[in-house]
Amino acid sequence: MFPLTSVIMASSTIVTTFFCVDLQIADVVNAALDEFFPLTMGVSVIAEPGRFYVASAYTLATLVHSKRDTMYYINDGVYGSFNCILYDHAVVNPIPLVNKPGKLQESSVWGPTCDGLDQVVTSVMLPSLDVGDWLVFEDMGAYTLPVASTFNGFPVPKVHAVISEDLWNSLKNLLPLTEDHFTLQNNNWESIWDMPSPPLSSSPPSPSSYMYELIA
């Protein structure tokens, strides 16, 4: 564990600033690693706290706007939120918002641009989808939107912060936030999908979470 370092270039002079960090946290983490993952196990541990904190905070919803057999074209791609596929070698997993009956078929998912490179998923087993269906991608909060572009004229996704009513009631008197900052969820997602004009990307349900998505 190393102290945080900031390097600032000013008038050809490099000024290095060290910020104090609480080494007690590092001591606890290192002790736990020594106990549960000793060197004899040959396990490599890589710490990426930034990704850990933000990845699961963002669920991406994409709309199937066209299809060709089992090739599905969605309204976001590698020049948008899925740039992580090109630059981070990310592997994403599309989840149909609505469970559809029928046999799973080997399918591929493509972005909206005219570039043949704009392939989101090469091969995935999906039910037969229709134009207008939603595909959900979880854990899309890290290294996605910050470097998205409007290549071919397609806008970057809109972001909606979603919070359950129970959690909102717990937080509303503690934070400098109002209901305008969130889409309130009444224990289901109908209110989100009943918005007058569906956003390019919104926050559908996360099967593995308790319905709290705060997207920054």
- For 175-214, write each residue's pLDDT tens digit: 676 667 667 665 544 444 444 444 444 444 343 333 333 3
Q: Is residue 109 part of a domain?
A: yes
Q: What is the total count of domains within the chain?
A: 2
Alpha-carbon distance of 163 to 210, in angstroms, equals 10
Residue 71: which domain range? 57-155
The low-confidence residues of the chain, meaning pLDDT below 50, are 1-21, 188-216
Single out the catalytic residue among 114, 174, 175, 216.
Answer: 114
Q: Which helix (H) or strand (E) holds 68?
A: strand 60-68
Establish whether 84 is a catalytic residue. no
Q: How much is the pTM?
A: 0.64
Round to whole Å and give the CA distance between 156 and 111: 12
Distance, CA of 35 to CA of 16 (rounded, Å): 35
Whether residues 28 and 69 fall in one domain: no
> Which pLDDT score, from 0 to 100, does residue 65 have?
96
Whether 207 is covered by a domain: the verdict is no
**Statement to judge: residues 102 and 129 lie in one domain:** yes
